[in-house]
Each structure stands twice: as C-alpha cells, then as structure tokens.
C-alpha cells in the first residue's frame, strides 16, 4: 500500500465514545480517519471514500458488522478489516473471521494494542503482483490491464471486476446470481439481466480479434472461463 497520501481508516461503531477515542488515537498514528455510526453509513463511506482499512464493530443498528464485513469483502476485497466486539467466545471470533475479517479484537481493549493489530492487518493487505492467465488471456491485477495474445483489451471497471472473478475461478462454473453478487454486492437491486449484458460486453471485447470463445454459458448452471468446453 505504498502511496503519497496517508492511509485511510474508517471507524464504524455506534458508541460515540469509542469512535471518538479510536479516531483520535489513529490520527495521532498518522492515519486519515472517518467515522460511521451504523452499518449503512459504513457501507456508504466504504464506497464513497475508499478506505484502506475498516475498524468495524459487530453490534450496530440496522446492518450489523458481520453483514457489513461480508459486503465489503464482496465489493472491495482489498480493504483490511479489524473486527471489534464485546463477545469473547471462540465461536463469535470464528463467525467474524469467516465473514471475512482479517483480525478480531475484544472490548475493552488497549488503544496501543488496537493500533498494533491495525498495523498487522494493513501489512497483510499489502498488494503483491498478481498475473492471471487463462489460455492466451492475461490479467494484470495490480495495473488492472488485460491482454489476449499481443492485443490489449480496454475494459471498464465493472468489466474488469467481472472478468477477474471469472479468472480467479477459471474452469469452475459460477452461477449467475453468485457472479452478480460478487460484482455488484449483496444489496444489488438492478435488472436480473445485467449480468448477461456484461458477459456479452466481455465476449465482444475478448473475441474482437477473431479469437475463440473463453466465457462459456452452461445453461441452468452459470458461467465459466476456460479454453474450451
């Protein structure tokens, strides 16, 4: 996460006392900080502000922290998530980690310990070069570029995101509903056919040079990215 700007941390908790003291501590650590008091506010800030990490309370009004965590993982898998909770049972920690949290901290906690956990989460989220190849298709995740053979392919953000999900599960069949959820999130309320439309866009671009089809439809099952069926 090397950048000229300060790292951004979103603190989401319905306890104003917690958000205030955590925000002050993290600002002293050099982070740029925003706060949210409920789950919907956290999701909005995630989309609008693009934080590098989220300090996320489990129990919040409306959308709880677990639901927020799952949504963040669906839309922005690169964001680090440190989950806060008053529950210290092993089962509660497992639920939080399975929802997609990188780390788990039980209230009450030391602010110094929280800062150390956050540093560890951010270190684990450092981007590493990732090149995905399927047949003659190559995706460079860090630069968000795609090529097929020697031909560069210009993709929109949504098209790249969809192709990335297909490439990471190359050879597997992804149901349309699951692919829609991964690309647009849990609360997507658009037309059910939008996934088909974007698959069509990708096919046009991937096959613009007369290359064989890579995105295949398995009727009643979903989509798969592979060289040949």
| Predicted confidence (pLDDT) per residue in 74-95, tens digit | 888 889 999 998 876 666 677 7
Which residue, of 93, 124, 155, is where some domain finishes? 124
Question: Does 150 fall in a domain?
Answer: yes
- Give yes or no: residues 153 and 94 share one domain: no
The whole-number average pLDDT for the span 103-108 is 88
Which pLDDT does position 85 carry in this prediction?
85
Tens digits of residue pLDDT in 20-68: 999 999 999 999 999 999 999 999 999 999 999 999 999 898 899 999 9
Judge whether residue 194 has pLDDT over 80: yes
Radius of gyration of the chain (CA): 20
**Which token pair is 147?**
């090529």
Question: Does 2 fall in a domain?
Answer: no
CATH of the domain at 94: 3.40.50.2300
Tens digits of residue pLDDT in 140-190: 987 889 999 999 999 998 899 899 999 988 999 999 988 888 888 755 656
pTM above 0.75, yes or no: no
d(CA 192, CA 172) in angstroms, rounded, equals 22
Query: Helix axis angle, 39-49 relative to 65-75, nearest 10°?
Result: 20
Q: What percent of the chain has pLDDT over 70?
A: 90
Question: Does 82 fall in a domain?
Answer: yes
Question: Does 1 fall in a domain?
Answer: no
Which residue, of 124, 154, 172, is where some domain finishes? 124
- Give yes or no: residues 171 and 96 share one domain: no
- Give yes or no: residues 183 and 102 share one domain: no
The whole-number average pLDDT for the span 187-215 is 88
């Amino acid at each position: 996460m090397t950048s000229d700007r300060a790292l951004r941390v979103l603190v989401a908790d319905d306890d104003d006392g917690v958000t205030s003291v955590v925000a002050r501590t993290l600002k002293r650590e050099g982070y740029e900080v925003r706060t949210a008091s409920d789950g919907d506010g956290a999701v909005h800030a995630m989309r609008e502000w693009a934080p590098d990490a989220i300090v996320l309370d489990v129990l919040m009004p409306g959308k709880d922290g677990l639901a927020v965590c799952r949504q963040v993982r669906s839309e922005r898998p690169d964001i680090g998530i440190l989950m806060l909770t008053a529950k210290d049972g092993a089962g509660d920690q497992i639920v939080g980690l399975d929802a997609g949290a990188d780390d788990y901290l039980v209230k009450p906690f030391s602010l110094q310990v929280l800062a150390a956990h956050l540093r560890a989460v951010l270190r684990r989220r450092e981007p590493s070069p990732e090149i995905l190849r399927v047949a003659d298709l190559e995706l460079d995740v860090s630069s968000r570029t795609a090529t097929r053979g020697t031909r560069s392919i210009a993709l929109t953000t949504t098209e790249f995101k969809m192709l990335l999900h297909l490439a990471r599960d190359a050879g597997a069949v992804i149901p349309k509903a699951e692919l829609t959820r991964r690309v647009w999130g849990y609360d997507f309320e658009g037309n059910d056919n939008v996934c088909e439309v974007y698959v069509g866009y990708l096919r046009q671009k991937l096959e613009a040079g007369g290359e064989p089809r890579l995105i295949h439809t398995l009727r009643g099952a979903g989509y798969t990215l592979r060289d040949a069926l």
